[in-house]
Amino acid sequence: MEKSIQDSIHGVIKLEEWMVRIIDTPQFQRLRRVKQLGFASLVYPGANHTRFEHSLGVMHIARMLKERLELDDDVLAAALLHDIGHAPFSHSSERLLEKYAGFRHENISRVIKGELKDVINDLGFSISEIEAMVAGKKRSIVNGEIDADRMDYLVRDSHYTGVAYGVFDIYRLTDKIKFDNSVIIEQGGIKAAESLLISRFLMYPTVYFHHVCRIARKMYEKAMEGIIEGGFDASKLLEMDDMDAMMLIKENEREFYEMLSNRTLFKRAVYVSRRAVDFREVMRINEKRAEREIAEEAGVDEKYVIVDIPPVEEMKESGVLVETEWGLRTLDEVSPLVKALKTASLENWRLGVYTKKEYLGRVGKAAMDYFGIERVVQKSLDEIFP
């Protein structure tokens, strides 16, 4: 029996009976309690949407593509389940799971168990095939250069944060997509694809890498890392939701719990672009070792120093194939705008060192010395125009 869900982004989403069986399992329902954007609600109060609604949205977009491209239902199952492996606060737990449990959220076979596993097997789907699509080991419309996942999260995250940058024409883009072992954009879809890349370029520094979001995420990591190193089994995070994780921190790292709950967060002691440092050298630095040495130099407890060296976000969407009169070319080959965005995205990168307000001076000086950052002295107008 078909059901309907009213979605804030796509309107009515139709659910077939087999989809409802998957959605009604406890493992899938957990996603209702895992925020899509982690701690972004500390910056954008409306950003309380979850992995649950995003998963439904990805399935909806995948179904639009499936009907045009004549794909099998396993693509829809992969779209529905692509985020089933997310732990509390979504990407905020990802580094912890990789480091302490050898797990990435795309490795969904490790979390498909119990009732969910029984339902998938009963429906005749292959868990290994679904995982291959989710992890990008098998090319699909679920995980690729341009896919149903990013089409949904950009517009959804834009809507709930109130930031207008994530808006682009999903329906034009889906109408101009072909699939031949990989996604191919028809020539008439180039402008829609460019619009997606512009949205992505603007959303990353504005939302995903906003400094307050980064600080809260790194404080959560710091607190949880201490708990894990104290004996907690990191793999248990895969069964937890955001409330469970905060209660765990409350029981074991009360100070961090109160700071995260009350938004009395660390401040920026250092926050600089790649041009202020030896970028290649910085990318090789171990964050924990840097925290230890900066804390020692500053004379503060290591738990109050956070070094944030984010990865460089690759704009892999720029490599999607596009039909042209000269044959298939990558999007950045045919679009000067996308080529420029790919270069400009490096300018969004920031090195951050965060600490409590009372330690800003000491930690800032120690961090600048550690990373070889020259201190910029602000001149008065009288000095500039004597």
pLDDT single digits (tens) 37-96: 999 999 999 999 999 999 999 999 999 999 888 889 999 999 999 999 999 999 999 999
pLDDT band at 379 (very low <50, low <70, confident <90, very high): very low
List the domains of the chain with CATH numbers.
Answer: 1-162+210-265 (1.10.3210.10)
245's CB contacts (< 8 A; 6+ apart) are: 87, 88, 89, 93, 220, 224, 237
What pLDDT was estimated at residue 380? 46
pLDDT in tens, 153-208: 999 999 999 998 878 888 899 999 988 878 899 989 999 999 999 999 999 999 99
Rg (CA), the chain: 22
- The length of the chain, given as a count of residues: 386
Show the tokens assigned to 241: 């939701």
Cα-to-chain-centroid distance, residue 292: 27
Q: Mark whether 10 is an active-site residue.
A: no
What does the alpha-carbon distance between residue 143 and residue 152 come to, in Å, rounded to a whole number?
A: 12
Residue 197: its pLDDT value, please?
Answer: 92
Handedness of CA 329, 331, 335, 340 (dihedral sign): negative
**Smallest Cα–Cα separation from 302: which of 353, 233, 352?**
353
Q: Are 269 and 365 in contact (CB under 8 A)?
A: no
**Candidates 49, 82, 86, 105; catalytic one:** 105
Tell whether the model's pLDDT for residue 280 goes beyond 90.
Answer: yes
The beta-carbon contacts of 117-123 under 8 Å, at least 24 apart in sequence, are 119/21, 119/22, 119/25, 120/22, 120/77, 123/18, 123/21, 123/22, 123/77
CA dist., res. 33 & res. 266, Å (int): 26
pLDDT score of 104 more than 70: yes
Pick the range with the lowest mean pLDDT from 78-87, 100-109, 243-252. 100-109
* pLDDT surpasses 70 at 383: no
Q: What angle do CA 10, 14, 20 make, to 5 degrees?
A: 120
- pLDDT, one tens digit per residue, over 335-349 is 999 999 988 988 899
The answer to whether the CB of 120 falls within 8 A of the CB of 128 is no
pLDDT for residue 33 is more than 80: yes
pLDDT for position 28: 98
What percent of the chain has a predicted confidence (pLDDT) above 90? 83
pLDDT of residue 355: 98
Q: What is the mean pLDDT of the chain?
A: 93
- 376 pLDDT band, cuts 50/70/90, is low
CA distance 336 to 317: 14
